[in-house]
Structure 1
Amino acid sequence: MTQLSLTFDAVNEETPGPKWAARWNRSWPAYEAWFIARGGDQGPSRDQCREALKRYMPELVATYDRLVIVAGGSDRAARFLSTWCPPTYLGGCSLAAVASKKDVRLVRNYDLSPQLNEGLLLRTKWSGRTVMGMVEFLWGLSDGINDAGLSIALAYGGRSESGEGFGVTTILRYVLETCGTVDEALVALKRVPSHMAYNLVLADASGRTASVELAPGGGMTQMPIAVATNHQSGKTVAERPAFTRTFQRRAHLEKLRVKPRKLNRQFLKSPLLQDRHAQGFGTLFTAEYNPKKLTLGLTLNGQRWDHGLNDFAEGQRIVDYSQRSVAEDAHSRTEAGPGLVDWSQAALVDWNAVAHDYAAGNGRAISTYFPSGRLNTQKVA
């Protein structure tokens, strides 16, 4: 059975040093295996990767060079850390930003398997600006805030095609290291290409909010309202929409009419909160950013953990999602009806394989993981 727990660490290290090195040593073996298996060694050379950073995000080059040294300096580590034309990866999320005359919030649900998240909240001052956010790929960010009050979060855009560009988590790091307002961030996002389709929501201390769609290989479309889930506008087709429930979640977000301070509550209940952790799609955390107060409130399986950019305290939380998952499985059995998966056999499934295949975009039917001859072949999406 898949391990349904995740350890969250809050770490403060202003420049890359022993704390980041410890995290690298802990996480790199798994990332290296993923990088090799997904064709990373056939990608751009080390020099090409650094040149791409120098061209599009020159302000990050000094930090990148230091990280490569701390990571041991290998060719593969250097190419991995650049995130230039990396292997494809997927995920799920719901995002929204709401502002009033006196208040503003950006809230994000991070939906995936517990085994596919680093569980690291990192506060840094790598390039002179203080940044706090949830780490992906060891130095990129899936969401975060800086000392100017600029906040940003990402959601997978719903299609696995890729183009020449950077991993989006590095782009979010770049925005928070170099920009102070939503308008400045939009200029940067238009210029720096993403290697896959992603949706971003932004908010700043002035109350300005925005949502954009990034296209594989470059290109940005600004959206009319500051919400996002896991599909994009236009003629593009979302992958596994029934499984991710992306259209239902976005429809709910578009109808919301709440004050900023009440936005977070919406993300702690259906249809935004996901409890299918064993299937690789459960809400691991809800992040509530307050750009005016420079704070982050993390909700971890119902428990709140607050952090301030200027009064950051290191700590650790261990979260067990198994009870929530068990409750969801029981509900699935009673509501499944004819032609759906029989969840009574869930204990016999390698859920780790399910989660990793989903994250890799392989698109298999859930029933193929169950004992043969016991189920039909109904697809999850």
Structure 2
Amino acid sequence: MKKYEDLVVSVVSLMGDAYDVGFQQSKEIQSSAHLVQDELLLALSATCNAQEAQEALQYVSPNLLQEIKGLASGLEQSYESVIKMYSGYNMTFPDMGCTSFVHDGHYVRNYDFSPALYDARLVFSNPSEGYASIGFSQQIIGRLDGMNEKGLVVGLHFVNNEWEGDGFLASTIVRILLERCKNIEEAVLQLKKIPHRYCYNYSMIDQSGKVVVVEATPTEQIVFEKHSFMCTNHFESQELKEKNKASIDNSIQRKRYINHFVANACTTAMSAFQYFNDGDSPLFFKQYKEYFGTLHTVVYSPNQLEVIVGIGENSEPLTFSMHQFIRGELILPTTIKGKILQAI
């Protein structure tokens, strides 16, 4: 008989200047839930040079640098160690999987990884400088996916870590785009300015309805503009195919399943959520021990500025309004709970 365990995601609301935001988050990190993760981050950040990370962040996002200073102050740790652990600069990270689908103005996504390295945080952020956003965090500072107040939606898709350069993890890059860019044009320009650590796809939609996938390596970024898209974990351009992992069968198969879904199912935001979140769906994975289990399902609707969220499988969806959050009218739950298959 299958055994399930609880997956509890904290819902966090952050406001103020960048330093204050960092200081607020330091209190979360001090909780027991993050102590083990800190040990992992120390190991993963061994190759990071704090001075290089600071110089790179000063160029691409001074606000994030101030946030890290707030973190360091609240944690009463050295600035050097905190920037190494949380900036995402020149870090190593295990493979992860992500499947995204955009159609009729809705962006739906499953994030597949291990609960051991999952922040389990849905962050509502309204900084005094930069755009407000809603998104799932990674390493506190970064975002796995998110939508900002201008309707720009961005998600990351791991491709390969065998081709590496001096630069930031994709989660830091997604955070920078959400906070600094109001549309895809600005996001694509910003992507070309940021140094990239590994090979990732970035899937995006904005309020105009424009949809792109950016294939990004440490040395090159290729932009595909589409009416709708299915994005998984491999490059499709002839120029970058050689940067794919040796085996991409799973990634290709997921795209085939989505094509079938587009042809045979309705494409409302809620029906898309239910298809992705169904524990029996070919897009829902349960290999948590192998770092490939679905942790959350999310639908971002940039025209309505609404987000549908579900944790684990067959979850009860919750809908949040960006408009209400910005106006201070949104009453947020403390946590969102779901069930995932127990990794044995």
Q: Please, what TM-score do these two structures have when normalized by structure 2?
A: 0.83
Tell me the CA shift for residue 62 of structure 1: 3.0
1:246 to 251, 254, 278: 251
Equivalence map 1:220-369=2 (5 Å): 220-225=221-226, 226-233=229-236, 234-238=241-245, 241=248, 245-254=250-259, 256-257=262-263, 259=267, 261=269, 262-269=271-278, 270-300=281-311, 301-302=313-314, 303-311=316-324, 312-315=330-333, 316-322=335-341, 351=343
Aligned residue in 1 for 2:120: 119
Pick the structure with more strand per residue: 2
**Deviations for 1:58-80, whole angstroms, at most 9, x for unmatched residues?**
35333333333233241211222
SS of 1:118's partner is coil
The structure-2 alpha-carbon separation of the partners of 1:37 and 1:97, relative to structure 1 and needing over 3 Å to count, comes to same
Distance 2:81 2:222 in 1: 33
Unpaired segments of 5 or more residues in structure 1? 326-350, 353-381
Distance 1:267 1:314 in 2: 24
Deviates more, 1:107-116 or 1:177-186: 107-116
Equivalence map 1:105-254=2 (5 Å): 105-126=106-127, 127-215=129-217, 217-225=218-226, 226-233=229-236, 234-238=241-245, 241=248, 245-254=250-259
Distance 2:243 2:286 in 1: 27
Distance 1:116 1:158 in 2: 18
- Where does structure 1 differ by over 4 angstroms across 4 or more consecutive aligned residues? none
The structure-2 alpha-carbon separation of the partners of 1:42 and 1:259, relative to structure 1 and needing over 3 Å to count, comes to closer
Amino acid at match of 1:287: V
Q: Kindly indicate whether residue 66 of structure 2 is the aligned counterpart of residue 65 of structure 1.
A: no
RMSD between superposed Cα atoms in Å: 2.5
Identity of aligned residues (%): 22
Distance 1:248 1:218 in 2: 28
Unpaired segments of 5 or more residues in structure 2? 325-329
**Deviations for 1:134-167, whole angstroms, at most 9, x for unmatched residues?**
0001121001111111111111114443211111
The structure-2 alpha-carbon separation of the partners of 1:143 and 1:25, relative to structure 1 and needing over 3 Å to count, comes to same
Aligned residue in 1 for 2:98: 93
Q: Please, what TM-score do these two structures have when normalized by structure 1?
A: 0.75
Tell me the CA shift for residue 279 of structure 1: 4.3
SS of 1:122's partner is strand
Distance 2:47 2:233 in 1: 29
Distance 1:125 1:207 in 2: 24
Count of residue pairs brought into register by the alignment: 316
Equivalence map 1:33-72=2 (5 Å): 33-38=39-44, 40-44=45-49, 46-72=50-76
> Which structure has the larger Rg over C-alpha atoms?
1
